[in-house]
Structure 1
Amino acid sequence: MNLFSGTLSTLEQALNYSSLKQKVISQNIANADTPNYKAKDTSFKEAFQSALGESVKANKSDIRHYDFKIGSSPVQGIVTRRNASYNHNGNSVDLDKEMADLATNQIYYNAVIERVSGKFSSMQNVLRGGK
């Protein structure tokens, strides 16, 4: 019997993604003045595919349908933004965008933490017998 029905593991993956995004944003901000540094970003698609592993199988009913391709990236879900150069020194870090991403990620993290807290509160309520 699966006690938690996969919800906590899904929330754990969401927290891992948020943590990875935080690290990438921090790295971009730290290298904002580094010449020729290319900003990095997290790809939800890459992170989702790595979480799925190789377990996705699908039958195509039409040759025009897309194939499911699970690719592997060197680091889970991190991609480099190559086609942008914002500074005269070849650096592609946009501090305004990074700060906005940082705030968005913080809101996402807080929402996931609230869900985890709610799950544990529900379990605690069940263990106490609804009292």
Structure 2
Amino acid sequence: MPFVTFTVRRGLSTADKSLLSEAMLEAQMAAGFHRDDLFHRFLEVDEGDLRVDSRFPDYTTDRTDRFMVVEVIISKGRPTEIAATIAEEAVRLFGERLHLAPQDVLFIFQEVEPSLPRFPAESTSRKVIADA
């Protein structure tokens, strides 16, 4: 279950958020995740709250004010290829649909233990059934 946070500068339209989310979901599906596995949030920050070097690490073109950070939390132990597929496919789709340049997207992947509870209501209902 990927959990995705898009950190963007304030003012991104609802339509663009929808396009980003749909493209990200398609990238997740390309990596083997289910279409219903949709957990995306958008954090909007002011201009001065997202500071980045314009060309690190050796880009030949400056980043723009459309730069965003895409944090993806996935279960620990998944093959590295899953993260690579998500990132590559998302950047391709972001470019096609929103005309975002690759240097305007920074991916951060974090892993969590798959055994940690994620849906307490589901755990509670299983316990109730087991106790019955």
Normalised by the shorter chain, which TM-score bucket? under 0.3
Larger Rg: 1
TM-score by length of 2: 0.25
TM-score (norm 1): 0.25
More strand by share: 2
Q: Which has the higher helix share?
A: 1
